[in-house]
């Protein structure tokens, strides 16, 4: 997706979401910086922007934080050196969640929960492991195959929130899609 198109979508949907996660693995630090600049020119607050794997870019921009993967810097090192950043850690199991918590992650991103377009052919992690993660005393954000229809189920199994990519970005009308997710999330808290 072109960055200008992403900027237009995010401009419309950001009032209904708590974070925008930039997961642009192929972009250089400069390209990520320019992407965030474009978003902020569209009035997207830095307090909503999470940068994947690049603590340096997140810090320089004053973004909300950084999302760390298994190949990223250690969460403890990032936390020690950049305490102002919110740190997320991508995980796929309870032991990985426990390790992320011990290393100082502020939350974990767990998935993929259900079959997902972005994980074609890979077996979903499912709800059982998600339920175990709710015992960690750390925020758990579920990702992967999340729809407005299964959002409530994910929340009931212990997720504190959800992350969605294709369900919004590839929707015919992203604003309508994000409103459907928002409605499902609000019903989940009943």
All structural domains of the chain with their residue ranges: 3-185
d(CA 25, CA 27): 6
The share of the chain scoring above pLDDT 70, in percent, equals: 98
Q: Which has the minimum average pLDDT: 11-15, 62-66, 115-119?
A: 115-119
Q: Indicate left, alpha or beta for 145 from its phi (over 0: left) and psi (-120 to 50: alpha).
A: left
Q: Indicate left, alpha or beta for 53 from its phi (over 0: left) and psi (-120 to 50: alpha).
A: left
Phi, psi at 135, each rounded to 5°: -85, -5
Interval 130-143 mean pLDDT = 95
Which CATH code for domain 3-185?
3.20.20.70
d(CA 164, CA 37): 22
Q: Is the pLDDT of residue 189 over 60?
A: no
What is the Rg, in whole angstroms, of the alpha carbon atoms belonging to the chain?
A: 16
d(CA 154, CA 14): 22
Q: Is the pLDDT of residue 117 over 80?
A: no
Interval 113-117 mean pLDDT = 88
| Cβ pair 85, 56 in contact under 8 A | no
Q: How confident is the model at residue 137 (pLDDT cuts 50, 70, 90)?
A: very high
Interval 167-182 mean pLDDT = 96
Q: Is the pLDDT of residue 14 over 60?
A: yes
- Whole-number pLDDT of residue 73: 94
pTM exceeds 0.85, yes or no? yes
- Whole-number pLDDT of residue 187: 79
CA distances (Å), origin 42, targets 10, 39, 71, 115: 8, 5, 32, 33
Helix (H, G, I), strand (E, B) or coil at 90: strand
H or E stretch at 49? strand 49-52
Greatest Cα-to-Cα distance within the chain, rounded to the nearest angstrom: 43
| Cβ pair 109, 93 in contact under 8 A | no
Interval 151-173 mean pLDDT = 96
- Whole-number pLDDT of residue 188: 58
Active-site residue, selected from the candidate residues 14, 71, 92, 112: 112
- Whole-number pLDDT of residue 1: 76
Q: How confident is the model at residue 121 (pLDDT cuts 50, 70, 90)?
A: confident
What digits encode the pLDDT tens for the residues 75-96? Answer: 999 999 999 999 999 999 999 9
Q: Is 112 a catalytic residue?
A: yes
- Whole-number pLDDT of residue 122: 86
């Amino acid at each position: 997706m072109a960055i200008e198109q992403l900027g237009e979508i995010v401009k419309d949907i950001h009032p209904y979401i708590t974070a925008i996660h930039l997961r642009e693995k192929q972009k250089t630090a400069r390209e990520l910086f320019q992407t965030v600049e474009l978003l902020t020119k569209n009035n997207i607050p830095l307090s909503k922007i999470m940068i994947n794997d690049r603590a340096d870019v997140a810090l320089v921009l004053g973004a909300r934080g950084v999302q760390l993967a298994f190949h990223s810097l250690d969460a403890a090192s990032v936390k020690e050196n950049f305490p102002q950043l919110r740190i997320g850690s991508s995980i796929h199991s309870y032991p990985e969640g426990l390790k992320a918590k011990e290393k100082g992650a502020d939350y974990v991103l767990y998935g993929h929960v259900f079959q997902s377009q972005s994980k074609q052919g890979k077996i979903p992690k499912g709800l059982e492991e998600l339920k175990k993660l709710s015992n960690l005393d750390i925020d758990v954000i579920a990702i992967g195959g999340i729809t407005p229809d299964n959002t409530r189920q994910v929340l009931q199994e212990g997720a504190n929130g959800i992350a969605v990519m294709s369900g919004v970005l590839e929707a015919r009308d992203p604003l309508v899609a994000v409103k459907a997710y928002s409605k499902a999330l609000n019903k989940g808290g009943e």
